[in-house]
Amino acid sequence: MVSEASAAQFRQVIARREFKVAFQPVVYLNSGKIFSYEVLLRSGTPLYRGPIEMLAGALDCGCMGEFGRQIRELALAQSPETTLFVNLHPAELDEGWLVRPDDPIFRHVEGVYIEITESVPLTHFQLCHSILREVRSKGINLAVDDLGAGYSNLKYIADLSPEVVKIDRELVVGLDQSERQRKLVKAIVRLCADLGALVVAEGIETVDELRAVIDTGAHFGQGFLLARPAYPAPAVTWPPEVALA
């Protein structure tokens, strides 16, 4: 059980806005140009070491919806003029903040993708579907995140019909060394394309991984090799030894 002191501590973090955001580019793999930036939470207080601890604090105090709203407000205020990917914690589905008409995502003219992990508990699925349907009716796009991280439920992709699917680092690491793994990722890319979704390969850290990801037919790439998360939003460093289309 969460103590009143812990809940009050996190409420102070929200009141003082003791958090930051960083931006990491999502890059076209055929041109090396930036398609969008993902918004990533960063701690701005020694009370919480990083985003995982901060999200746990918000969850414990029952204010995930309010915290998510504040993250989006900060991100949109500091964002470059480009498409954004914004993460949505599943606990936000229990609160009504996201569907409020004055949410900042509805003011971002360049387009927004809400990222939701494919490991959202099935108990949340119907609620998730209902809320996302309402948000998407207002022009917001959907990205399913973390495909390939642990147990993957491909039925989420069929049921939610996302515009983008993000393949987790677990399927990217070692991709250049395993023909069977490449065949698997190629099949996933084809499946997503057949279902109307573009594919982002996350966690690209080496030139060989980048080459292997390109070979799978994935549409976009993201990872430390191309750019680390930063603020202001960083440029892309495309390896000169990797040819562009």
Distance (Å, whole) CA 198 – CA 145? 12
Alpha helices in the chain (DSSP H): 4-16, 51-60, 64-78, 125-136, 155-160, 169-172, 179-194, 207-216
List 147's β-bridge partners, or say none.
Answer: 167
Q: What percent of the chain has pLDDT over 70?
A: 93
Q: Is there a contact between 222 and 23 (Cβ–Cβ < 8 Å)?
A: no
Residue 85 has pLDDT above 70, yes or no: yes
Residue 114 has pLDDT above 60, yes or no: yes
The token pair at 188 is 């996933």
Q: Is 18 strand, coil or helix?
A: coil
**Which domains can be identified in the chain, with CATH numbers?**
9-221 (3.20.20.450)
pLDDT of the residue at 120: 59
pLDDT of the residue at 123: 58
Q: Is there a contact between 118 and 156 (Cβ–Cβ < 8 Å)?
A: yes
Using pLDDT thresholds of 50, 70 and 90, give the confidence band for residue 151: low
Q: pLDDT tens for residues 17-58?
A: 999 999 999 999 999 999 999 999 999 999 999 999 999 999
Of 241, 239, 244, residue with least CA distance to 224: 239
